[in-house]
Amino acid sequence: MAVVLVYAFLISSGGVDNTGPLWCYPLTMVIMLLQGFRKGVIAVLVLLVIALVLLFYPGIPFVSAEYSISFKIRFVGSFSALAVLSFIYEYMRWRSTEAYVAMSQELDEASRTDVLTGLANRRDMQDRLDAEYARFTRHDHCFSVIMADLDHFKLINDRYGHAVGDDLLVMMSHLFSSGVRRQDVVSRWGGEEFLILLPETRLDQAMLVAEKLRYAAETVDLSDLGVDDPISSSFGVQSISANDNLHELIAGADRMLYEAKRRGRNQVVGTI
């Protein structure tokens, strides 16, 4: 609004020796820089309409400056030309900024996503765990984690090839993701290991989720992969407590996973 008033004053008063309109040119760039492309275009068009009214509509009481008709036409023409150039510049800058933001978001997403499975990778999961642990320490919101590992995965790679092994990892990733809630996070923790974050979930509830996933993995149809051998998974479950930090939580889930392996695999082990 202040820019509009200054603009109208410069044209209507004429300034020193009728040079006031010359100071209107920088206002175009100032408005475009301050308002951005969309709002800036509207604002500059409003200024152009104000100039046409003040210069060519006779009898306006507060307009004291007198300009020749050639000056008026040249001012409107040059101001319009500058406005168009400002539009083009700001549009290109706006598009470049949007492209940069989109590229940055894509790169950030790529850096947080496992290339093979499309799941959250270890870095992204670590950030989510940090956020969930902060909620726990501030508001005492419990959460649990599940460490899952495909049993005898090396045998699948050796017998059917690494390409089939990769396809199996992708299949299990979809299986685990579809078996949890939307707010839960499934990540590829490393190799054939998956770490699942379950917010607002007690240990007994997490054990039920892990058992559901174990059964789904045991009964999944592998005929599309050309795998004849049965596949199973082992699960270690751990819930956060007041004495735990994140390192102890993950280490506890890992210990439970190895205990499940020691007991014969294809089972869920957790502690209270």
Q: What element of type H or E holds 144? A: strand 143-150
Longest CA span, the chain: 98
| Active-site residue identified among 98, 106, 192, 211 | 192
Cα–Cα dist 67/62, whole Å: 15
CB 231 within 8 A of CB 151: yes
| DSSP-assigned letters across all residues of 191-216 | TTEEEEEEET--HHHHHHHHHHHHHH
**What is the separation of C-alpha 159 from the centre of its chain, rounded to a whole number of angstroms?**
40
Q: Which two tokens stand for residue 79?
A: 């101001």
Active site residue 192: yes
Per-residue DSSP letter, 179: T
Q: 109-124: string of b/e by CB count within 10 Å (b at 16+)?
A: eeebbbeebebbbeeb
What residues are labeled active site?
192
